[in-house]
Amino acid sequence: MKNITITLLALAAACLARAETIVSTTGAISSSLNTSSYFGLQFTTPAEGDAYVLTGFRFLGPDGEGAFDNTPAGAGTAYLFSSSPHNAVSPSGVSGYTTGLVAVSGVWDGSQYAFANVPLDVGSTYYVVSDTNGFSVGHSFAIPNNALYATGPGNNYVNQLQTLSFEAIGTAIPEPASAAVLLGIGGLAAAVSRRRRVRG
């Protein structure tokens, strides 16, 4: 009985907290060797299906073995906006720029910029920029282009005719019916546990 209770609780927790890719772009044909650039890009969440909370973001760069976007890439802190910072702010000023600001990540941890469960709207466009340079990002010329670049700490981010490789990671927000099922699983597990304690 104890094993059943643990299994039910684990199932409910896994369903509620399963991280997955929200949206990504790969298939780079080259990678930027200009590590003095400050990178940013725009992405659009899926127009249908679940809404998500954003838990992580990463650019994707070269792996040193011929693949251009197999390796998480980043540095410093990332800023998430709901309106484009294009021509409006520079890397050195982004920490004080609040127009359209949605969230600020934790410092790059070697695998991602971590975000604290930021709700994202379905079918909406967001913009991410890094305030630090020093890394390479895979890119192509696929349409639509998504890239933002700043060529120096005091130069504004501008649009570029390139598509940068990236991955936005998050957790789906269950639809009401799914949430009810998950809550039911959790409630059943709790009831089983209480009943066992009473009998014991």
pLDDT of residue 100: 97
For 83, 117, 163, 173, the CA distances from 11, given in Å and listed in that order, are: 38, 21, 38, 16
Whole-number Å distance between alpha carbons of 120 and 114: 15
pLDDT of residue 18: 79
Q: pLDDT tens for the chain, 200 residues: list them.
A: 444 443 333 344 445 557 899 999 999 999 876 789 999 999 999 998 889 999 999 999 999 888 999 999 999 999 999 999 999 999 999 999 999 999 999 999 999 999 999 999 999 999 999 999 999 999 998 888 899 999 999 999 999 989 999 999 999 997 654 444 444 544 544 555 555 555 55
pLDDT of residue 157: 97
Find, among 53, 46, 39, 121, the residue nearest to 85 by Cα: 39
pTM of the model: 0.80
pLDDT of residue 144: 81
- Sequence ranges of the domains in the chain: 19-171
* Whether 86 contacts 150, CB under 8 Å: no
